[in-house]
Structure 1
Amino acid sequence: MTRTGDHDYWNHNTHYHRLVLDAMPDPCEAALDVGCGEGLLARRLATRARRVTGVDRSAEMIRQARGRAGGSGGLEFLAADFLRHPFPEGAYDLVCSVAVIHHMDFTAALTRMADLLRPGGTLVVVGLARDRTPLDRAFSGAVLPAIMIADRVRGKADPAGMPMTEPEMSWGRVRREALRLLPGARFRRHLYWRYSVRWRKP
């Protein structure tokens, strides 16, 4: 992975950038990063894809992303509502989203992401869910000490101005809805209170 100098950092979201990068089709002509924030994942995608578009509804995040892109060719950032912007359907080899889909209507967002993929394209969503059951709470409590140690050792850092909100959907509901909308998708629960959904469009 190409380093990004002073703008390369680690937190619970960037930890899963590798998961997205490893899922990229090869070759990758066009990639879309939904909810790109200040653009770290998009910049990393641009080392492998010919064209990368990052979209975020926060104008401040897009301002930061453009400033940090440094004139990189094939990389653009849009301040727009992903669900309303007229992206061309079937135009992307990769559509990805990290820790953003809980800010949107889950069904509408996942459906739109799938529609934007070319046949054979890959969708990767990393998201957050809410603990609803005793088993969920037990799992979260069990991994907390390891997470606290990792945060200290790795130096957890979050970009200034990043919008935050708590997820509403439970782990089980996310899994059921994802598999209903994307038959054949793979759902996995991960450390750092994250899950992933990976799907290849037929």
Structure 2
Amino acid sequence: MSDPYWNHSTHYHPGLARLVTPGTRTALDVGCGEGLLTRRLRAAGAQHVLGVDLDPDQVGRARAAAGGPPEATGLDYVAGDVLAPLPGLAEPFDLVTTVATLHHLPLDEGLRRLRELVAPGGTLAVVGLTRPRTAWDRTVSAAAIPVARIARRRRGEWEHGSPIAEVTTSHAELNAAARVILPGARLRRRLYWRYTLVWRAPARSADQVRRGR
């Protein structure tokens, strides 16, 4: 079936929605835009989904598309900078997602902030872009061109209304930062000039559970 919202980034929304499990009580989408992924996460079973975006116009569209108040829909939205204290971000989340947004943030600070937002035992999933720097980077990038052309002809390409930022981080730089900040994260190159990074936060120890931490 044709998806009117398909593009190189939304292509990965179904895979992110599959990360919702029966234990996913809360989910956060950073850089939510008009809320496409938040609605998928809610439909997949997340009980309460919060979307955060710097653009108040996009947040307004997301709220309108939610179709009702947060207590009825399980969807809520906040306009603001995820790096700053914001309403709704005081407690960590069982699932944190972000698509084509990490390159808008300082790399190390952004990864650390995303890590902070994940509850013990929870999951962080990033879909993003890196800048080709090496010969291998450029080879992988060039290989995506014919696939993308075929996909555009068959599916079209939805143009989002979110601001665009230049991509400056290389795949190697991202990998090095993730090894330090998110040990054990799985980083993979993907189609359409994207990567996925998935990290599972350590679960609380029995001693921490007893202490209520």
TM-score w.r.t. the length of structure 1 is 0.92
Q: Secondary structure at the match of 2:73?
A: coil
The 5-angstrom pairing of residues 57-96 of structure 1 reads 57-71=54-68, 73-86=73-86, 87-89=89-91, 91-96=92-97
* Alignment match, 2:31: 35
How far off is 1:24 after superposition? 2.4
* Alignment match, 1:133: 134
Q: How far apart, in 2, do the equivalents of 1:16 and 1:164 lie?
A: 18
How far off is 1:188 after superposition? 0.4
Do the aligned residues in 1 keep the contact of 2:7 with 2:158 (CA within 8 Å)?
yes
- Alignment of 1:198 with 2:198, yes or no, is yes
Q: How far apart, in 1, do the equivalents of 2:200 and 2:7 lie?
A: 27
- Alignment of 1:148 with 2:144, yes or no, is no
Q: Secondary structure at the match of 2:25?
A: strand
Q: How far apart, in 2, do the equivalents of 1:43 and 1:102 lie?
A: 23
* Alignment match, 2:210: none
**1:132-165 residue CA offsets vs partner (Å, 9 max, x unmatched):** 1122112211220111111110111112x31111
TM-score w.r.t. the length of structure 2 is 0.87
Q: Secondary structure at the match of 2:81?
A: coil
Range with bigger deviation, 137-146 or 180-189: 137-146
Do the aligned residues in 1 keep the contact of 2:4 with 2:158 (CA within 8 Å)?
no
Structure 2 unaligned segments of length 5 or more: list them.
203-213
Q: How far apart, in 1, do the equivalents of 2:52 and 2:108 lie?
A: 19
Do the aligned residues in 2 keep the contact of 1:24 with 1:122 (CA within 8 Å)?
no
* Alignment match, 2:206: none
How far off is 1:8 after superposition? 5.2
* Alignment match, 1:9: 5
- Structure with bigger gyration radius: 2
* Alignment match, 1:45: 41
- Number of equivalent positions: 196
How far off is 1:79 after superposition? 0.5
Percent same amino acid at aligned positions?
46
